[in-house]
Amino acid sequence: MNINGDATKANTYDAIVIGSGISGGWAAKELCEKGLKTLVLERGRDVKHIVDYPTATLNPWEFKHRNRMPEAFDKENPIATKCYALDEGTEQFFVKDAEHPYVQEKPFDWIRGYQVGGKSLIWARQTQRWSKFDFEANARDGAAVDWPIRYEDIAPWYSHVEKFVGISGNKDGLETLPDGEFLKPWELNCVEKHIQKRVAESYKDRHVIIGRCAHLTEPKQIHYDQGRAQCQARHLCYRGCPYGGYFSSNSSTIPWAAKTGKLTLRPDSVVHSIIYDDVKKKATGVRVIDTHTKQMTEYYARIIFVNAACLNTNLVLLNSTSRRFPNGLGNDSGVLGRYVAFHNYRGNIVADYEGFEDGYYYGRRPTTAFMPNFRNVNKQETDFQRGYMVAFSAARGGWSRGAGQEGFGADFKDKLSDPGAWHVFMMMQAETVPRYENHVRLSTDRKDPWGIPQLVTAIDYTDNDVKVMKDFLEQGADMLEKSGCKNINPYDDHRNPGLDIHEMGGVRMGRDPKTSLLNAHNQLHSVKNVFVTDGAAMTSTGSQNPSITFMALTARAANFAVSEMKKRNL
């Protein structure tokens, strides 16, 4: 066998990061800043900040279909088209159903964004820290396994990430939702403030706050240094923000890593598997298939960060087999792909509010009112496990309510410009308890266009999830009634798991290698030079939006990895 040593050397790096989304971008930033020659692999196309946001400044009438997707697209993409953020202005950032097939053993809507930046271009940007109650929940009620870390372990890394990202929010002083490093908050409007007041008067354990979100309301020098500017309150974020007003890998961490001169970014690179050396007893690199040519190439590094987003990270590890790991890399416990969980969004409530006709609001605020979880916090007090966050917003009907009405002239135009009545929308974001039965695995007979086994999703709701939803519908309706709302209509939208786009688990952290995959530093227990820091690493889901936790875990793990490399432990 002839070995081309020069070619191997050219493909060798200090670190490889699989994925360029929210967590992958952070891994690249931290590793490059510490001087590591880092290769970032992205299975999708390259998307450069500003240059590749073709619809960012278009008006509705400049779209061929007035920013709606044609009926033919919806028929061809019954999964992707369900996503609230997909329209004619954003569809270029979403994976179409036929592009990466998977097997739904149970209905699961897998929403994906394959490009440099991943779903950081199209995320909802809500950022709440976990509290001590969330990291202790499994130990308290006996579900799943105990987290190997506590809030105190990650709190400094939340601060580290928040300062760089730019998080808008209030110092609310709530034990259930710790404060962070905040920029100026957005404001609740008059009806939301009224509901906030009534809830505070009616309940001692329920607190309405303005949402915390990754938007630059008052940029600091660190944000200007990134080339970012103030959020313009356009709410066109999902098209890519040319101002960098919201955080994305494209506007922030990837360019920051590139400035070090240590970053190599390789788009159009589908990771087939991680290479494990039975003699060295560690991972030595990754196998990559070119998206277009289907040619396979191997890249090598001392450490590997797997940040492909939860389900794809599970897929990569499951497909990384060897004599030592016949059932997937690091899978001595047999739980790889198991205990996948998500957020339950099924409960919704709509209502009307009569009054405040003289009140309105400015701009398109990128967040809503939130209420941290108030169920089963200090002790088990209901017939279901865990709880839920509540999000709600109030708004007035606009000019479109006059569409189809008869009339002409100035009086008709004036009527169309008058705001309508106030309406309230309320939704739940509930924690689901990780279960062994909820899992993903590789298909034994179906492959994707790159010859990799398709992922099988076997994930479903439980009776506990239905109980949680019913409690929200009852409690939410009660809160709105006490706030003076009328025509209150609670409903179950019966959405499939996955449409929350908050899938977590499958490569969970834990204290015991017999029941988990990762240790307290996000290392595979049995392959210390492989780290997983995206949603796959989560041991439970909490009720908060998870992205800020992914970022903090990634920064923490990357700095630990560099420290271990300096000690020659990796």
Query: Is 214:127 a contact under the CB 8 Å cutoff?
Result: yes
The one-letter code for the residue type at 77 is: N
Helix (H, G, I), strand (E, B) or coil at 453: strand
Does 192 reside within a domain? yes
Strand-pair category, 338-341 with 343-344: unpaired
Q: Please tell me the predicted confidence (pLDDT) of residue 399.
A: 60
Tens-digit pLDDT profile for the chain (570 aa)? 344 556 688 899 999 999 999 999 999 999 999 999 999 999 999 999 999 999 999 999 999 999 999 999 999 999 999 999 999 999 999 999 999 999 999 999 999 999 999 999 999 999 999 999 999 999 999 999 999 999 999 999 999 999 999 999 999 999 999 999 999 999 999 999 999 999 999 999 999 999 999 999 999 999 999 999 999 999 999 999 999 999 999 999 999 999 999 999 999 999 999 999 999 999 999 999 999 999 999 999 999 999 999 999 999 999 999 999 999 999 999 999 999 999 999 999 999 999 999 998 888 999 999 999 999 999 999 999 999 999 999 999 876 555 556 778 888 777 777 888 999 999 999 999 999 999 999 999 999 999 999 999 999 999 999 999 999 999 999 999 999 999 999 999 999 999 999 999 999 999 999 999 999 999 999 999 999 999 999 999 999 999 999 999 999 999 999 999 999 999
Q: Partners of 455 in the beta sheet? A: 442
Q: Would residue 419 count as lying in a domain? A: yes
CB atoms within 10 A of CB 156: 12
Q: How many domains does the chain have?
A: 1
Q: In which domain, by residue range, is 492 found? A: 170-211+344-431+461-496
Tell me whether residue 216 is in a domain.
no
Q: Look up residue 463 and give its two tokens.
A: 């009776």
pLDDT at 402: 53
152 in any annotated domain: no
Identify whether 438 is part of a domain.
Answer: no
**Domain presence at residue 155:** no
Residue 426 lies in a domain: yes
Q: Is residue 478 one of the residues assigned to a domain?
A: yes
Q: Is 19 left (phi over 0), alpha (psi -120 to 50) or beta?
A: left
User: Distances from the Cα of 531 to the Cαs of 88, 157, 285, 508, 566, in angstroms?
Assistant: 37, 17, 13, 12, 17
pTM: 0.96
Alpha helices in 337-421, H assignment, sequence order: 409-417
* Number of C-beta neighbours around residue 398 at 10 A: 12
Strand segments, DSSP code E, in 149-268 are: 167-168, 182-183, 209-210, 263-266
DSSP 418: S
